[in-house]
Amino acid sequence: MTAAKKVLLAAPRGYCAGVDRAVETVEKALELYGAPVYVRKEIVHNKFVVQSLQKRGAIFVDEVAEIPEGSTVVFSAHGVAPEVHTDSADRDLKTIDATCPLVTKVHAEARRFASEGYQILLVGHEGHEEVVGTMGEAPDVMTLVQDPAHASTVEIKDPDRLVWLSQTTLSVDETMSTVETLRERFPTLISPPSDDICYATQNRQGAVKAIAERCDVMIVVGSGNSSNSVRLREVALEAGASTSYRVDFADELEENWFADASVVGLTSGASVPELLVDEVLVWLAQRGFTDVEEVRTEEEHLVFALPPELRRDIKAAQRGQR
């Protein structure tokens, strides 16, 4: 008798509060000001989201120098360094800051610890936009540490006044392993007031861990430049999934991945709309995986308000229509 084919659908998955806020910010800006609205970097790291906003009139650029003077620009959810704000003011740009409030919290911690004379170790991945923005808050006193191996060799000027911060979208386990390595070398290392890794990253990794051992194949929907999506695939393998693949879209799935599978796990990164997960479920159902069980490990209710400058303009427009 052939074993029943099943999908274990991880929950929470998909959009977090910071991504939801950032995407809505661009949508509302387009409605309010009209196209084009410029966005510095990808608003969130997801191909589908970026392509959808481009069709509505958003123009994505790498730097504010590419934006015509006097235009409207939205800063991405990953945050920007202080010099980006300065450069935008020099070009007379109307700025809307869609930085995730949890990233803003890390920026504030960096400024505070720098002002108090600490050296800062930032656990994160070189070149990631969030890391670039955070490093820009205190470049003279901040050192990037990428992983436990790097932590074992990094050199510090003043180990007696030392604190660690982290990129918000890392693997929880790898980050703490890196911190433990640092603490072995620098016993006086201080931790931030609260965990920098965001609630959504932790919850999505926790949901994957809860189902991984039961899965022959784990599918993670998310883009290759999305740190939290890439981490989910790694977490699945570490937690016991036989194999794991990351895809942007259902049409990237390959039949041979599921040839011997009876249980498929499915999740999505924090910048992935549920529509893309639904398309994967349809693809799997067409191949016999019709039994779908959602496995929920946490409830999420956090909502972030839109950026204040956008809320102000929306209220002004509403008053003008009365």
Per-residue pLDDT of 193-246, as tens digits, reads 887 889 999 999 999 999 999 999 999 999 999 999 999 999 999 999 999 999
Mapped onto helix, strand or coil, the DSSP state of residue 1 is: coil
Q: Which residues does the chain have with pLDDT short of 70? A: 1-3, 322
Is 130 a catalytic site residue? yes
Query: Active-site residue among 130, 255, 298, 299?
Result: 130
Asked if 134 and 165 touch (Cβ cutoff 8 Å), the reply is yes
pLDDT at position 255 is 97
How far apart CA 174 and CA 265 sit, in angstroms, is: 22
**Number of alpha carbons in the 13 Å side-chain half-sphere of residue 146:** 8
Strand partners, 292: 7
Output helix, strand, coil percentages for the chain, rounded to the nearest 5: 45, 20, 40
pLDDT given for residue 2 in this prediction: 54
Question: Which pLDDT value is given to residue 212?
Answer: 98
Q: 10 Å Cβ neighbour count for 276? A: 21
Q: Note the Cα 261 to chain centre separation in Å.
A: 30
Going by the DSSP 8-state scheme, the letter that residue 256 receives in this structure is G
Cβ-contact 167, 122 below 8 angstroms:
yes
Alpha helices, DSSP H, located in 223-305: 227-238, 274-285
pLDDT at 157: 84
Query: So what's the pLDDT on residue 4?
Result: 78
* Entry pTM: 0.94
pLDDT of the residue at 1: 43
Nearest to 156 by CA among 142, 167, 166, 146: 142
